Chains A and B, each alone.
Chain A
């Protein structure tokens, strides 16, 4: 009961995510575009995004159990969620970011 009250009055509003890409691969470029568009529209100033290029260093990807790119890993708020592909499925992306479909 108390927990839900706290959550309501102070929502966990900050998103932390890592986008794994492979250089300028077409899917990777699209994923970056799709993600940035949603972030600008819906999360202005309320997110940290780290972009990891696996062609330069793939070890962070393995450390996070990421086996293909592009892959978006949302680390906060929990639970951790991974979305694979070019992020063109807006519905799926919003769900991973815990955002409402409407608005």
Chain B
């Protein structure tokens, strides 16, 4: 312990050592007691007498370690103690030795809250069938209002009677553990404070994470709106203009002699205008699928399956919960699935893919899988370092920002599967 003070454990060791000494004395196995500056020799024949006379020596010896001794005599209903014990309880034996011996005097000093516990332990230790050794930590309220912590170890001595073994006395050693208890309490309080701080910090970090997720969602909503705006411009303005241009051009060529003069040129121009229009429509659809705007996620996915089959000859099956219809995340999910299907078409060589869309508690779970060539995952990790913009990793980033997780499962020849788990709605804390 810091500043050289003994620890609670060391004090307990001292108590145990004191208890050993008491036992050796009781067993009359001691022939000398060593004090601070001399040795008191005990003669075995008169050891009992000597024991009484050597009380002072014993006290001296024990007090070297700050240990007090006490004894409770059942027959006389009296307590006695060494000088140190009297000091600890702040009881002065001098003016009235009889009063000092009263158990009531001692009992009065013990903290009221600790009395029931002491009674319970004493009751147990007085039964012959139980362990006669006991240990108690308790508080003492001294007349000067000072509260101290004491630790005591004691042992009950039984004597055989006609009614079986009966307790005759209890002897013990006692030591002041106030400092150690205080240190223990300080440590506990420090721990509590630290725990509180950790909790605060964790809560703060969680709050930040929620804010970030909300921000990410806000961002993807804004992005969706922007895409819609572009799609609207393409659809409503550019396509209309192109249609008007074609109409005017056809009008012009039908009346003018141009068509007869250079029919190939005219045909090419019309075809180019048509191509522009088709590109604009396709771009508009890609940016903001009309099906997603006009209906819901599940319908949009059904449409996507058909679209992929038509465009890439890729068979796609869909297994979706109907409960996923109205989601604030529809746009992100739709785009991620489209990207994954495109990847599957490009890399797997499987010609078929499967979409699974489920609600799992508060989460939405989406899996896109195929039975194609597969990939070595660690090889993919290397690729990730090279190009962060790769479709799959962009999806991963985005899902993580939204508070979700992405799991990739693949091995060469064993297909490829991506599972996304996204919390549906982020709890709002303010």
Residues of A that sit less than 8 Å from B by CB: 22-23, 25-28, 54-55, 58, 61-62, 65-70, 82, 84-86, 88
Contact = CB atoms under 8 A, between A and B. Distances in A.
A22 B33 CA distance: 9
Contact of A68 (B32, B38, B44): B32
Interface of B: 17, 20-21, 23-25, 27, 29-34, 36, 38-39, 41-42, 44, 61-62, 64-65
B172 to A, nearest CB: 17
The 3 closest A-B pairs by CB, nearest first: A25-B31, A85-B29, A22-B32
A15 B25 CA distance: 27
Contacts of B23: 84
Given A68-B25, A85-B24, A61 B34 contact: yes
Nearest to B24: A84
A23 B17 CA distance: 23
A70 B27 CA distance: 13
A68 B33 contact: yes
Contacts of B64: 62, 67
B34 A58 contact: yes
Find the residue from B20, B24, B29, B39 having the highest chain A CB count within 10 A. B29
B158 to A, nearest CB: 19
7 contacts: A22-B41, A25-B32, A62-B64, A67-B17, A67-B64, A68-B32, A84-B20
A interface SS class: loop
Contacts of B24: 68, 84-85
Contacts of B30: 27, 68-70, 84-85
A55 B20 contact: no
B65 to A, nearest CB: 7
Contacts of B31: 22, 25-28, 69-70
Contacts of A68: 21, 24-25, 30, 32-34, 61
A62 B17 contact: no
Nearest to A22: B32
